[in-house]
Amino acid sequence: MDRIAIIGGAQLNGEIPISGAKNSAIKLMAASLLTDEPLRLTNMPRLADTAFLGKLLHRLGAQVDERDGPDGAETVLHTREIVSTIASYDLVRQMRASFNVLGPLIARAGQAKVSLPGGCTIGARPVDLHLQALEALGAKIDLHEGYVYAQAPRGLRGAEITFPFVSVGATEHAMLAAVLAEGTTVLHNAACEPELVDLEQCLNAMGAKVWGAGTPTITITGVAKLHGATHSVIPDRIEMGTYAVAAAMAGGEVRLTKARPDLIDSLLAKLEEAGAGVTRTADGVIIKRNGARLDAVDLETQPYPGFATDLQAQFMALMTTAKGESRIRETIFENRFMHAPELMRLGADISVSGGEARVRGVETLEGAEVMATDLRASVSLVIAGLVARGETVVSRIYHLDRGFERLEEKLGACGAQVRRISGGDESED
Ligand code: UD1
């Protein structure tokens, strides 16, 4: 199993191009099931998660062609026919977002059998809101032996759906199913995340009629058929935020390009409050810190446009060496402080109580062996390693490979001493 070793102390100077958004790409890939024509996705990130979903879609009938286009990596997905409507436990367990094929399968094939995803390290993560939305659209849902059996032989019908709280996945799922439903669907208390806007734009390019994504009310008028399209995946705001935090942590000056700084305003405001230099540019942002320690700042995670839960672990790493005490409240997932004990192995002073962590900044961290517990937690350990004295070795980095494209290369190009150690340490699992 691969590990990543970081020798701390080097400043970061240079440019990092931001990839297409993982969380958007995987929903857009699922959207390809809705048409028998090719969907061409450009600005695609090449990640373990996108490769994995490609395999699942192939089993369902998609021809998946990954290639280099004029603007970088692209994937063409073409599902002439749905050849299977089953997504097994084995597949959904490995990647929760595989569950999002359920809606498109019901919408296009009238039936599906998809495994329930089960819990994950950051919390129970139920899918009740997904299922309620699909039922409201007229799908008959039965649960047996860990599987969702869904039927809508005469197609789905538009409905008014009010989500009891904001869920990104359930909003996307309802949108993916409602585009082929008969009549109009209105989603109330919808998630406003930028990935929803990206999905709306892609679906509309395919002939759907969706309005209002990015606001709490989304209206979808169903159409009988969707067609092929070309769509460029939105830049990854979490990757951008991660490198912004890395630059603030290590010091130096890093220019993030091919990005959308407007999508991480809440993070950039916190970085400025802490004392980092933030300059927005036409296609990104420049993050700068020269010498002085940052100040501790408090934060609370919130649905978009609030501070993203997917950047909480990285910001906690940043606060471990800030001046003073930072209070970090996690409100989206119940168990998302798994990185705290690992950061403490590097010398951080953190106490966690319920949904709040208190981080008392220390002058220096010290390199140690640490273990990645989930995707965003793993990158927080790399960020801490950038300033820890000596060597930090992060194991279980398959989590990292799920969501960060060429991380060692991107950080290395700015002067970080990061290397991948292939194989070894069988004891880690
Ligand atoms: C997506 C992102 C993830 C991000 C999260 C919140 C993807 C692949 N993942 O996850 O990176 O951290 O948004 O921004 O896009 N919930 C329920 N019932 C449901 C659905 C959700 O109780 O049916 C709960 C969840 O357990 C969680 C909260 O609602 O506590 C928000 O989850 P949700 O917004 O759905 O997150 P995901 O779509 O799973």
Answer yes or no: do 8 and 150 share one domain. Answer: no
**Ligand 1 atom, smallest distance to 132 CA:** 23
Residue 428, domain member (yes or no):
no
Answer yes or no: do 176 and 197 share one domain. Answer: yes
Residue 178, domain member (yes or no):
yes
Residue 128, domain member (yes or no):
yes
Global confidence as pTM: 0.96
- Whose alpha carbon is nearest atom 38 of ligand 1? 169
Answer yes or no: do 226 and 272 share one domain. Answer: no
Residue 210, domain member (yes or no):
yes
Query: Ligand 1 in contact with 171 (CB < 6 A)?
Result: no
Answer yes or no: do 221 and 244 share one domain. Answer: no
The proportion of the chain whose per-residue pLDDT surpasses 90, expressed as a percent, equals 86
The proportion of the chain whose per-residue pLDDT surpasses 70, expressed as a percent, equals 97
Answer yes or no: do 114 and 159 share one domain. Answer: yes
Answer yes or no: do 202 and 263 share one domain. Answer: no
- Whose alpha carbon is nearest atom 19 of ligand 1? 127
Cβ(15)–Cβ(425) below 8 Å: no
Ligand 1 pocket mutation pick from 94, 102, 167, 374 by most atoms within 8 angstroms of CB: 167
Residue 205, domain member (yes or no):
yes
Looking at the predicted structure, is the pLDDT value of residue 124 above 70?
no
**End of a domain among 204, 232, 260?**
232
* pLDDT on residue 291: 79
Distance from the alpha carbon of residue 168 to the mean position of ligand 1, in angstroms: 6
* pLDDT on residue 97: 87
What mean pLDDT is predicted for residues 117-145?
Answer: 86
Query: Ligand 1 in contact with 119 (CB < 6 A)?
Result: no
Kind plus residue range of the DSSP H or E element containing 283: none
Answer yes or no: do 194 and 252 share one domain. Answer: no
**End of a domain among 211, 232, 253?**
232
* pLDDT on residue 326: 98
Answer yes or no: do 133 and 219 share one domain. Answer: yes
The CATH number given to whatever domain includes residue 164 is 3.65.10.10
- Whose alpha carbon is nearest atom 39 of ligand 1? 169
Number of folded domains that form the chain = 2
Query: Ligand 1 in contact with 41 (CB < 6 A)?
Result: no
Residue 27, domain member (yes or no):
yes
Residue 426, domain member (yes or no):
no
Query: Ligand 1 in contact with 130 (CB < 6 A)?
Result: yes
Q: How confident is the model at residue 427 (pLDDT cuts 50, 70, 90)?
A: very low
* pLDDT on residue 429: 37
What mean pLDDT is predicted for residues 323-340?
Answer: 93
* pLDDT on residue 303: 96
* pLDDT on residue 112: 97
Tell me the two tokens of residue 115: 């495994």
Answer yes or no: do 224 and 185 share one domain. Answer: yes
Looking at the predicted structure, is the pLDDT value of residue 428 above 60?
no
Ligand 1 pocket mutation pick from 127, 168, 197 by most atoms within 8 angstroms of CB: 168
Q: How confident is the model at residue 426 (pLDDT cuts 50, 70, 90)?
A: very low
Query: Ligand 1 in contact with 309 (CB < 6 A)?
Result: yes
Amino acid letter, 244:
A
Question: How many other C-beta atoms lie within 10 A of the C-beta of residue 423?
Answer: 8
Among the listed ranges 222-226, 253-257, 289-293, which one has the minimum average pLDDT value? 289-293
Residues 372-416: tens digit of each pLDDT: 888 888 899 999 999 999 999 999 888 888 889 999 999 999 999
Answer yes or no: do 228 and 239 share one domain. Answer: no
DSSP 8-state assignment for residue 21: P
What mean pLDDT is predicted for residues 277-285?
Answer: 96
Distance from the alpha carbon of residue 412 to the mean position of ligand 1, in angstroms: 32
**HEC states along the chain?**
CCEEEEECCCCEEEEEECCECHHHHHHHHHHHHHCCCCEEEECCCCCHHHHHHHHHHHHHCCEEEEEEECCEEEEEEECCCCCCCEECHHHHHHCHHHHHHHHHHHHHHCEEEEECCCCECCECCCCHHHHHHHHHCCCEEEEECCEEEEECCCCCECCEEECCCCCHHHHHHHHHHHCCCECEEEEECCCCCHHHHHHHHHHHHCCCEEECECECCEEEECCCCCCCEEEECCECHHHHHHHHHHHHHHCEEEEEECCCHHHHHHHHHHHHHHCCEEEEECCEEEEEECCCCCECCCEEECCCCCECHHHHHHHHHHHCCCECEEEEECCCCCCCCCHHHHHHHCCCEEEEECCEEEEECCCCCECCEEECCCHHHHHHHHHHHCCCECEEEEECCHHHHHHCCCHHHHHHCCCCEEEEECCCCHHHC
**End of a domain among 198, 216, 232?**
232
What mean pLDDT is predicted for residues 50-64?
Answer: 96
Distance, in Å, from the CA atom of 93 to the CA atom of 301, rounded to the nearest integer, reads 26
Answer yes or no: do 385 and 296 share one domain. Answer: yes
Is 192 an annotated catalytic residue? no
- Whose alpha carbon is nearest atom 9 of ligand 1? 23
Q: In whole numbers, what is the pLDDT of the chain averaged over residues?
A: 94
What mean pLDDT is predicted for residues 60-88?
Answer: 95
Answer yes or no: do 221 and 77 share one domain. Answer: yes
Q: What is the DSSP string of 354-408?
A: TTEEEEE--S--B--EEE--SHHHHHHHHHHHTTSBSEEEEE-THHHHHH-TTHH
Among 120, 192, 202, 414, the active-site one is: 120
Coil, strand, or helix at residue 141?
Answer: strand
Looking at the predicted structure, is the pLDDT value of residue 355 above 70?
yes
Query: Ligand 1 in contact with 312 (CB < 6 A)?
Result: no
Distance from the alpha carbon of residue 201 to the mean position of ligand 1, in angstroms: 21
Give the structural domain span for 282: 3-18+235-421
- Whose alpha carbon is nearest atom 30 of ligand 1? 333
Looking at the predicted structure, is the pLDDT value of residue 64 above 90?
yes
- Whose alpha carbon is nearest atom 21 of ligand 1? 167
* pLDDT on residue 410: 97
* pLDDT on residue 335: 79
Residue 429, domain member (yes or no):
no
